């Protein structure tokens, strides 16, 4: 009898942990993930039959000792297929196809895991059915690769230099990329998202997240070795003090033992693996936008994208004027006049208009009459956007938004968050909602990657989280911004738009570049700067140079003045990550085509078949014959294009081209 009982016990035990497998395919059948429910919950990814991600565990540990994903007890499953078109205003295309197959695994003790298979990639997320509050101690996120493949990653550059993990949770999320084998990645340094891993077959996997709401952002680490990248999250802040840049930040001095507070049932961020056999597919992927929560603003008719005259890049350094330039009304009126004369929608008053070290946006410096400036701009059809330090905005958010909206200000550029723990992620959502309440735009600077927040709150027109042109004010020639420019469309831009702040009219070849704060320059050619307005996505797009420099370069300036900032259609025509990219965008019946190369001179051929049967006339801005010696050298020539055209263009080292056709 004892033997029978023991046998039955073993049978029950075996049955409880017997592995179940579920296969989920993308609509085109190219991608397949196999989800295994055994002692651990794992998934893998295959592309055209080749494994690109080995079995990788996923889990979430709660403060009651339970770990979702360990010894999971399945209670139900469901599948669905979705194929619909959604409107995507203020985006790279006017509408986006949401086409995927979905699998939901329901487990006992109150949790689910949802998987989606797009033609572009595989995503999953945890969902809690628990209604009572609890804390999450940790989330296990692992990406296990079949071999020691290479990765292109941005390491965290901590603002503090004490070498601790905490120091790495305090950064601007700006860095150029490093490419190396997984085994050779720095095991002591965190990597922020997105990043890209390339398999031995040349298939690229871009890892990022979407719908990051009330949860800390994800970092990855190579510390465990074994061809594996593992997730790291900043714990929840327990004690913070005012400090940092001009006393505008909150510095975390102590953290809790958990990463997130949960008030009740909810979903958690999507973990994404975008899989591309061709590099250009990464640059075209819409998964971050599609996986984000839909808009929470019913009426967005007041949200006006556009271009911005920006003073900070040139250090308020105007020439040919009869007043002393700086943070004063005369300088800003000159920028407002420039914006009005050239059809620019906005002028930013960057750092300096509010009294320094007070963290109080109601205290305006004596040389600024803000109401006068706002009224002056309004009379000329120009909107004013105000820069704000994080803590100054956070501590009095509604009063600030109400006051300046009533004055006629159009929005805020909020800066120096420099964290992505749950507390800071919550701030960004609150700021977006509050700005929407008062019909204010928002540009989130000093910020982590977008993660779809621009879909949820379309009044957020831009994000930083990029090693933008501003870094050239202080970076030495060893910082390769040119190679970065032809890498970020395949990595950072996959997450969403970016406040890169292009438009420099001082352009230097590699040998001539040097940092200069008051008269800064770009690396690469003049045409490269024009092309950046086509290749990069910025619904709120800066003109970084001075009005006088644009007046001296009227032909190039006109291209910038005319270009839209949101699009009806976007196509990445050609490219290779780290080498070059060619992008075409359409607004109405006007097409813009732009291309960039690295420091290697390059001859490219543009297949114009996307133009169809219509004949187009336009203007081509291309590198001049001496652009390899002087970056400002360019030519502007007429072109005729149609669907049969194969346009050949030579790009100088660090060069680019831009075309406007209609």
Residues 6+ apart with CB under 8 A from 657: 527, 530, 531, 593, 594, 595, 620, 621, 622, 623, 649, 651
Pairwise CA distance, residues 88 & 78, whole Å: 28
561, 344 Cβ separation under 8 angstroms: yes
Residue keyed to tokens 């550029």? 413
**507 phi, psi to nearest 5 deg:** -130, 125
Token reading at 219: 């970092």
Determine phi and psi for 4, rounding to 5 degrees: -65, -45
Told to judge if 421 belongs to the known catalytic residues of this protein, a careful annotator would answer no
Q: What is the CA angle 519-522-528, rounded to 5?
A: 140
Catalytic residue at 256? no
DSSP state of 320: S
Number of helices and strands (H, E) in the chain?
A: 14, 39
Burial annotation 597-631 (CB, 10 A radius, 16+ → b, else e): bbbeebebebebeebeeeebebebbbbbeebbebb
Q: Coil, strand or helix: which one is 29?
A: coil
Q: Which residues pair with 59 in a beta bridge?
A: 140
| CA pair distance 21, 319, nearest whole angstrom | 69
N- to C-terminal Cα separation, the chain: 88
> 595 - beta bridge partners?
582, 657
Closest listed residue to residue 246, CA positions, set 80, 361, 119: 361
Number of Cβ within a 10 Å radius of residue 187: 11
Q: Are 457 and 432 in contact (CB under 8 A)?
A: yes
CA 225 to chain centre: 28
Matching residue, tokens 């601790």: 164
Is residue 627 helix, strand or coil?
coil
Q: DSSP per residue over 174-238, as a string?
A: ----EEEEGGGS-TTS-EESPEEEE-TTS-EEEEEEE---SSPPPEEE-TT-SSEEEEE-PPPEE
| Cα 69 from Cα 86, distance rounded (Å) | 33
User: Which pair of tokens denotes residue 595?
Assistant: 């291309």
- Give the whole-angstrom CA distance, residue 375 versus residue 549: 26
The catalytic residue among 120, 138, 351, 470 is 470
β-pair partners for 596: 581, 656
Burial 484-511 (b: 16+ CB within 10 A, else e): bbbbbbbbbbbbbbbbbbbbbbbbbbee
Whose tokens are 């998202």? That residue is 193
The residue annotated as part of the active site, out of 139, 415, 420, 553, is 415
**DSSP string over 466-516:** S--GGGGGT--TTS-HHHHHTTGGGTGGGG---------S-EE-GGG----
Contact yes or no for 329/368 (Cβ under 8 A): yes
Residues tagged active-site: 415, 470
């Amino acid at each position: 009898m004892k033997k029978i009982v023991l046998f039955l016990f073993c049978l029950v035990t075996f049955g409880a942990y017997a592995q179940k497998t579920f296969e989920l395919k993308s609509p085109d059948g190219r991608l397949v993930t196999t989800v295994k429910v055994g002692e651990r919950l794992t998934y893998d990814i295959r592309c055209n039959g080749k494994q690109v991600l080995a079995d990788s565990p996923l889990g979430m540990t709660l403060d009651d000792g339970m770990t979702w994903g360990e010894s999971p007890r399945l209670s139900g499953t469901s599948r669905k297929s979705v194929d619909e078109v959604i409107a995507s205003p203020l985006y790279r295309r006017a509408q986006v196809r949401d086409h995927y197959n979905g699998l939901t695994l329901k487990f006992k003790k109150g949790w689910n895991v949802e998987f989606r298979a797009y033609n572009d990639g595989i995503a999953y997320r945890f969902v809690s059915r628990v209604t009572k509050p609890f804390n999450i101690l940790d989330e296990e996120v692992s990406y296990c690769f079949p071999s020691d493949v290479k990765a292109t990653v941005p390491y965290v550059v901590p603002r503090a230099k004490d070498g601790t993990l905490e120091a790495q949770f305090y950064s601007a999320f700006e860095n150029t990329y490093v490419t190396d084998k997984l085994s050779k990645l720095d095991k002591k340094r965190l990597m922020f998202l997105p990043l890209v891993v390339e398999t031995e077959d040349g298939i690229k996997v871009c890892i990022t997240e979407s719908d990051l709401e009330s949860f800390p952002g994800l970092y990855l680490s190579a510390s465990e070795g074994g061809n594996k990248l593992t997730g790291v999250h900043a714990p929840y802040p327990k004690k913070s003090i005012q400090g940092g840049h001009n006393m505008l930040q909150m510095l975390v001095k102590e953290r809790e033992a958990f990463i997130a507070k949960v008030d009740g049932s909810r979903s958690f961020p999507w973990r994404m693996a975008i899989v591309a056999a061709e590099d250009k597919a990464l640059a075209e992927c819409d998964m971050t936008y599609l996986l984000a929560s839909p808009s929470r603003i019913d009426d967005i008719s007041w949200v006006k994208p556009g271009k911005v005259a920006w003073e900070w890049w040139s250090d308020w350094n105007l020439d040919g004027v009869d007043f002393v330039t700086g943070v004063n009304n005369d300088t800003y009126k000159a920028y407002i006049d420039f914006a009005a004369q050239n059809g620019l929608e906005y002028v930013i008053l960057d750092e300096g208009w509010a009294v320094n070290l007070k963290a109080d946006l109601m205290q305006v410096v004596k040389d600024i009459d803000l109401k006068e400036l706002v009224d002056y701009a309004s009379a000329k059809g120009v909107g004013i956007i105000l820069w704000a330090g994080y803590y100054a905005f956070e501590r009095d958010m509604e009063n600030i938004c109400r006051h300046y909206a009533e004055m006629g200000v159009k929005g805020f550029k909020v800066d120096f968050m420099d964290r992505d723990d749950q507390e800071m992620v919550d701030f960004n959502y609150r700021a977006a909602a509050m700005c929407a309440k008062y019909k204010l735009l928002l540009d989130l600077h000093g910020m982590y990657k977008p993660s779809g927040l621009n879909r949820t709150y379309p009044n957020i027109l831009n994000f930083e989280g990029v090693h933008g042109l501003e870094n050239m004010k202080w970076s030495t020639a060893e910082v390769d911004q040119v190679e970065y420019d032809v890498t970020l469309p395949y990595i950072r831009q996959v997450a969403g738009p970016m406040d890169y702040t292009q438009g420099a009219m001082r352009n230097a070849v590699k040998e001539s570049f040097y940092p200069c704060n008051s008269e800064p320059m770009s690396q690469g050619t003049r045409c490269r700067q024009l092309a950046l307005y086509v290749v990069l996505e910025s619904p709120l797009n800066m003109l970084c140079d001075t009005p006088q420099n644009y007046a001296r370069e009227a032909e190039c300036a006109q291209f910038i003045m005319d270009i839209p900032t949101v699009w009806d259609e976007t196509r990445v025509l050609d490219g290779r990550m780290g080498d070059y990219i060619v992008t075409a965008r359409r607004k109405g019946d006007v097409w813009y085509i732009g291309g960039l190369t690295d420091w290697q001179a390059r001859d490219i051929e543009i297949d114009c078949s996307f133009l169809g049967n219509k004949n187009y006339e336009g203007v081509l801005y291309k590198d001049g014959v001496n652009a390899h010696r002087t970056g400002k050298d360019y030519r502007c020539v007429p072109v005729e294009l149609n669907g049969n055209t194969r346009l050949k263009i030579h790009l100088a080292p660090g060069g680019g081209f831009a075309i406007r056709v209609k």
